[in-house]
Structure 1
Amino acid sequence: MIDPYKTLGVDRDADGASIKAAYRSRAKAAHPDAGGDVDAFSKLTASYELLLDPVRRKVYDDTGFDPQLTDTKDLEGLLILDALVNDFILDEREPGSFDPVAAMRRRLTDKIVNTRIHILELERHRGRIRHHIDRIGKRPESDVLGRMLNARCDTIADAITKAENEIKTIEQAYSMLEGYSYELEAELPKAAE
């Protein structure tokens, strides 16, 4: 993820005129026709467009992400975390009485485990279908049952691939929690009786 403020060299509270001036100044040197790098110019232009769009800028300022500048995996991980953040915001327990970061990590771990179990079930089911295919005698004119069973195997293979990709996304969300901790309130000592 690139930081559009750093890319343009402007402060976080820069107004539209400052952003335009910074873009024009940097674009002259960064433009490919002036010997600049195409990728660098593309990032400069994307940063400029983000900061001039009030909605995208607000989303970036609030989350640190922009759909157009963010890797798809990061964006999908962010969406998973967003749902988990909503869960702990709505939790009625007092802040400091529970660890929402640890709870988020547990929920992500549980999702990974459940998805792996689902993959194992799908693979077992696909194996049973393949055994049926091996045992069914084929009709000489057409193999309707074989085609139907093979189509089921293909559908299961697609579901397995989807589940494996879901695990990668959950792992990405988990990695986004690295470095975070949460300070719990210390329990008060019980009064001596």
Structure 2
Amino acid sequence: MTDPYEILGIGRDASEEQIKTAYRKRAKTAHPDSGGDVDTFGRLQKAYELLLDPVRRKLFDDTGYDVELTDAVDLQALVAIEKLITDMVLDEREPGTFDPVAHMRASLMDEIRKANFSKSELERHSDRIRLHLDRLGKRPGKDVVGHMLRARIKAIATAISETEAKIDATERACDMLEGYLYVMDTPMLEEEEPTSDVEWDDAPEARSAAQ
């Protein structure tokens, strides 16, 4: 995640006027017309717009994320967590009777396991196709079979890349959940059988009096 405060070189308590002053100062050298880099100037503008928007600025201060400045992996991770938040909100169980954060972590870890398995299967499938392709000795001028096999390998490579991206995003989502501690209700213990305040074996006088 790109930090807009670092881009502008200001503190997190900077006022609106300080934000504008810092932007003007950096824009003089960052602007492409002044020999600056287009991407750098673009990030400078986005950081400036974020910090001048009180709603976006508060959201960034609270979460450390902003849609405009978040990289693709972080954005996918946020989408994954958003889906889990929906599940948490729709769960009818009483708050405190289950740990929704632990459930979210478990769901993400399960997704990572499934994705890793899928990646392994795709790689194995691709290796098999390559072996078939290698064994195609003499081929006609128009190699239809070879073309189709190579196309399959290419498609599988794309699927593997997408699966790896999903794994990275899910792992990032797990990182985002680190540090949370959900407070559970203390389970009620069954009431014990009432006992007499008098220990008869240790108090013969009391036993005699009772008789």
TM-score, normalised with respect to structure 1: 0.78
SS of aligned partner of 2:154: helix
State the Cα distance separating 1:110 from its structure 2 match: 0.3
What does 1:7-156 correspond to in 2, within 5 Å?
A: 9=11, 19=16, 21-27=17-23, 29-33=25-29, 45-53=45-53, 56-57=56-57, 60=60, 63-156=63-156
* Alignment deviations for residues 128-158 of structure 1 (CA, whole Å, 9 cap, x no partner): 2223223344433221101101110111111
Q: Sort the Cα spacing of 1:91 and 1:3 in 2 relative to 1 into closer, same or farther, 3 A.
A: farther
* Alignment deviations for residues 33-67 of structure 1 (CA, whole Å, 9 cap, x no partner): 5xxxx799876643331144466457546744212
Amino acid at match of 2:158: D
Q: Structure 1: how far apart are the matches of 2:11 and 2:42?
A: 15
Decide whether the 8 Å contact of 2:59 with 2:65 is kept in 1: yes
* Alignment deviations for residues 156-192 of structure 1 (CA, whole Å, 9 cap, x no partner): 1111111011101100111111111111111010123
State the Cα distance separating 1:31 from its structure 2 match: 4.6
SS of aligned partner of 1:118: helix
Q: Structure 2: how far apart are the matches of 1:87 and 1:167?
A: 21
Number of equivalent positions: 184
Q: Structure 2: how far apart are the matches of 1:97 and 1:133?
A: 57
State the Cα distance separating 1:108 from its structure 2 match: 0.5
Structure 1: gaps (5+ residues): 13-17
Q: CA RMSD in A?
A: 3.2
TM-score, normalised with respect to structure 2: 0.72
Give the structure 1 partner of residue 175 of structure 2: 175
Q: Sort the Cα spacing of 1:140 and 1:70 in 2 relative to 1 into closer, same or farther, 3 A.
A: closer
Identity of aligned residues (%): 47
State the Cα distance separating 1:119 from its structure 2 match: 1.2
For the pair shown, which has the larger CA radius of gyration, 1 or 2? 2
